Amino acid sequence: MEFERRRYNHSYMNIAPLVDVVFLLLLFFMLTSRLIEEPAVKIRLPESKTAATGQQAVNTVIITKEGRIFFMDREVGLKGLRVAVREALTGKEKNSLRIKADRDAGVGLLVSVMDEARLAGVRNFSVVTDSGLQRR
């Protein structure tokens, strides 16, 4: 007596091409993320051993050693900074600000920029420093 066997259809999906595409996308984004440049204003940031290296898309104020103040890639004076920051923060729930000051910029100007930012409604701001690890 011969029994009929069940035939199992072992079908599987080949995911090797999918893994190749994901690897290529990962490689592409890793290489292009290093090529993203900061704004064209040339400043030398002060060094810090404990500086974090995270990149975030937040509003940025740049102070040059000549005392010029830039907000979001356009030059504004100290008097116009409060208005520019207030306009940029309208309708946003996250009101944070990065301050990049040249190491040769005056501390008084940095404090004045912080005061203007607070008067514009910014509650969270950070002063950006260079970790010093990239040059070594």
Q: pLDDT truncated to tens, each residue of the chain (136 aa)?
A: 677 777 777 777 888 999 999 999 999 888 877 665 555 555 566 666 665 555 555 688 888 888 889 988 888 988 888 888 888 887 665 677 888 888 888 888 888 988 888 888 888 878 887 665 544 4
Candidates 73, 94, 93; CA nearest to 84 is 73
Question: Is 64 inside a domain boundary?
Answer: yes
Question: What is the pTM assigned to this prediction?
Answer: 0.55
Structural domain of 99: 59-127
Nearest partner of 60 among 1, 128, 13, judged by Cα: 128
Q: Does residue 50 fall inside a structural domain?
A: no
Q: How many domains does the chain have?
A: 1
31 falls within a domain: no
Residue 22 domain flag: no
Query: Is the residue at 10 inside a domain?
Result: no
Is residue 15 in a domain?
no
Determine, yes or no, domain membership for 66: yes
- Residue 97: which CATH number? 3.30.420.270
